[in-house]
A and B are shown apart, each in its own frame.
Chain A
Amino acid sequence: DAGITQSPRHKVTETGTPVTLRCHQTENHRYMYWYRQDPGHGLRLIHYSYGVKDTDKGEVSDGYSVSRSKTEDFLLTLESATSSQTSVYFCAISETGDLFSGANVLTFGAGSRLTVL
């Protein structure tokens, strides 16, 4: 997966428990993203980071927080998991944040499947 590792790959948890998903990259890319993928919705952006300690909200950020203390790691935390957060979560990286000229290339990890019972 081009230097992106997501962990865990599968997790089953109960409603109300905290969950942290980890994304680790070895590409030294500045931009990192967390998406969730649900049937019929495609991929939706949760949060993204444009540098160490620099993060911003995406389209569906409620109930999620992120942290980036090192270039290579981007953590996604569900403080109190709910059944609506059952999904497949993808981390992506890009070297540039330029979405508009065609220079941006998103490289995705293999995904983390989370089930909240």
Chain B
Amino acid sequence: TQLLEQSPQFLSIQEGENLTVYCNSSSVFSSLQWYRQEPGEGPVLLVTVVTGGEVKKLKRLTFQFGDARKDSSLHITAAQPGDTGLYLCAGASREYGQNFVFGPGTRLSVLP
């Protein structure tokens, strides 16, 4: 059983389209992080959110933490081929100790 679910699992879109991916849990998290991973490389941190309802923007990427701190979304505006990759969310909760719980990821492909 996944503690963090991500949807969709796969997403293929054309350059210039907008998209949203989701990260959901039944658990409450103290902090939540989003990473992007490219083939053959390790994940790279994009953002950390800690406050319920928090919205953070990173250029064309908008991250939101749910009010109840159980879910998060990542919205990409005008996607570019360089956005292609595996997007992972990871949550920290005292329930899970010294362990970030990772979701299975959303694999995004942006076609030129």
Chains A and B bind each other: yes
Task: Give the interface of A toward B (CB within 8 A).
Answer: 1, 4, 35, 39-45, 48, 50, 56, 58-59, 90, 92, 97, 99-102, 104-111
Report the minimum CB–CB distance from A92 to chain B (whole Å). Answer: 7
A residues in contact with B94, CB < 8 Å: 100
The residue among A48, A99, A101, A104 with the most chain B CB atoms within 10 A of its own CB is A99
Q: Which of A39, A40, A100 contacts B30 (CB 8 A)?
A: A100
Taking A41-B104, A43-B90 as given, write out 16 further A-B residue pairs in contact, using a Cβ cutoff of 8 Å, ordered by the A residue number: A42-B88, A42-B102, A42-B104, A43-B43, A45-B99, A48-B99, A59-B99, A90-B42, A92-B42, A99-B30, A100-B94, A106-B43, A106-B45, A106-B90, A107-B45, A110-B41
B residues in contact with A44, CB < 8 Å: 102
B49 touches A102 (CB 8 A): yes
Verify if B50 is at the interface (C-beta below 8 Å from A). yes
How many angstroms between the C-alpha atoms of A100 and B42 in the bound complex?
Answer: 22
Q: Which residue of A lies closest to B88 (CB)?
A: A42
Query: In terms of DSSP, what is the predominant structure of the interface of chain B?
Result: loop
How many angstroms between the C-alpha atoms of A104 and B103 in the bound complex?
Answer: 18
Q: Which of A99, A101, A105 contacts B45 (CB 8 A)?
A: A105
A42 touches B105 (CB 8 A): yes
A102 touches B31 (CB 8 A): yes
B98 touches A99 (CB 8 A): yes
Q: Which of A39, A58, A108 contacts B44 (CB 8 A)?
A: A108
Verify if B110 is at the interface (C-beta below 8 Å from A). no
A residues in contact with B4, CB < 8 Å: 42
Verify if B19 is at the interface (C-beta below 8 Å from A). no
Verify if B92 is at the interface (C-beta below 8 Å from A). yes
Q: Which residue of B lies closest to A90 (CB)?
A: B42
A selection of 12 A-B contacts at a CB cut-off of 8 Å is A35-B102, A42-B102, A43-B88, A44-B102, A90-B42, A99-B30, A99-B99, A105-B45, A106-B90, A108-B42, A108-B44, A110-B40
How many angstroms between the C-alpha atoms of A5 and B50 in the bound complex?
Answer: 30
B residues in contact with A90, CB < 8 Å: 42-43
